[in-house]
Amino acid sequence: MTISTEYTVSGIDDRRGTQTLLVALDVDGTLVDHDGVMSDAVREAAQAVVAAGHEVMIATGRSLNATLPIIEKIGVERGYAVCCNGGVTLRLDRTLPDGYEIISKSTFDPAPALRALREKLPNAKYALEDGEGNFLATERFEDASFGVEAIGVDFATLLDAVAVRVVVFSADNTPEEFTQVITEIGLSGVTYSVGWTAWLDIAAAGVTKASALEDLRARLGIHPRHTVALGDGRNDIEMLAWAGRGVAMGQAPQEVVDAADEVTHSVYDDGAAVVLRGLL
């Protein structure tokens, strides 16, 4: 595993400047730091790759409204984006009334997973994004990744909803304890990933950033080896393994590093900018 300083992947570097790449970018911990700040170096590098004509796609666990400001900041006016860990795919076009349209949405019944989680984590906070883009949450649960103000509901209301994304957060557990509980529960019929803290994201079965990106890659007719992905979280593992060149951020946990082809610098050292500049 090496630190990325230039673009040197065999089968891609010899096409630099002539071959359109699909470049999938995680947001939190990759394009922005954990305070939500994007450096000028990262923003300018991303804008340059967009201007060069590559298919630059945000691929994030954030919901739609929290993703749109990032898309605007890096200058993508036409193309695609993946939200909700693959649960929602957007087509971006400034000529559309909203500047985008939803072309794919994967929903699921959250009740079985929620019941299993509630039994083991009765004091955790629960939220879900429904099929209309609303967030329903217990205990005034709010997070910047929601992109909208959550509507306070009781747990029974969550059980009756149709979900695109479910989020669970426990302030009572360490990340290690939380991960152990989730493993013991053995969630089935859904796809899930555990975050940096005692945080769980759940999507429909088989839905990941990678599954959504593969649909877009096929739609665009881009060869698999001409795909690049950057990420730092456990919800990026499938995406990094999927990409022709998967790059983990320097602060990524070991299981994320293991899924990648290489490692760049951390988000605080503008690791994404290093990789993006190398694509030009």
Domains 13-105+208-277 and 111-204 share a fold: no
What are the distances in angstroms from CA 85 to CA 116, 147, 189, 234, 270? 22, 14, 16, 11, 23
| Whole-number average pLDDT of the chain | 89
Q: Please determine, for residue 4, whether its predicted confidence score (pLDDT) is greater than 90.
A: no
Domain boundaries, the chain: 13-105+208-277, 111-204
CATH number of 13-105+208-277: 3.40.50.1000
What per-residue confidence (pLDDT) applies to 6?
Answer: 35
Distance (Å, rounded) from C-alpha 41 to C-alpha 21? 21
Q: Please determine, for residue 175, whether its predicted confidence score (pLDDT) is greater than 90.
A: no
What per-residue confidence (pLDDT) applies to 21?
Answer: 97
pLDDT tens figures, 140-173: 787 778 888 889 999 999 999 999 999 998 888 7
What token pair was written down for 72? 């605007």
More confident residue, 80 or 180: 80
> pTM for this structure?
0.88
Section 6-31 average pLDDT: 67
Distance (Å, rounded) from C-alpha 176 to C-alpha 198? 8
Residue 9 pLDDT grade (very low, low, confident, very high; cuts 50, 70, 90) = very low
- Of 24-28, 140-144, 208-212, 276-280, least confident by mean pLDDT is 140-144
What per-residue confidence (pLDDT) applies to 193?
Answer: 77
Q: Please determine, for residue 1, whether its predicted confidence score (pLDDT) is greater than 70.
A: no
What per-residue confidence (pLDDT) applies to 223?
Answer: 96
CA–centroid distance for 96 within its chain:
24
Distance (Å, rounded) from C-alpha 91 to C-alpha 102? 6
In this structure, how many other beta carbons lie within 10 angstroms of the beta carbon of residue 77? 12
Q: Please determine, for residue 102, whether its predicted confidence score (pLDDT) is greater than 90.
A: yes
Q: Please determine, for residue 28, whether its predicted confidence score (pLDDT) is greater than 60.
A: yes
Class of 111-204 in CATH: alpha beta
**Nearest-10 Cα torsion for 264, 268, 272, 278:** -70
Per the DSSP assignment, residues forming a β-bridge with 89 are 82, 104
Residues 6+ apart with CB under 8 A from 97: none
Q: Please determine, for residue 199, whether its predicted confidence score (pLDDT) is greater than 50.
A: yes
Section 214-235 average pLDDT: 96
Residue 13 pLDDT grade (very low, low, confident, very high; cuts 50, 70, 90) = very low
What per-residue confidence (pLDDT) applies to 18?
Answer: 61
Section 209-214 average pLDDT: 97
What token pair was written down for 204? 């429909």
47-70 exposure pattern, b = at least 16 Cβ within 10 A, e = fewer: bbbbeeebbbbbbbbbbbebbbeb
Section 4-19 average pLDDT: 41
Residue 184 pLDDT grade (very low, low, confident, very high; cuts 50, 70, 90) = confident
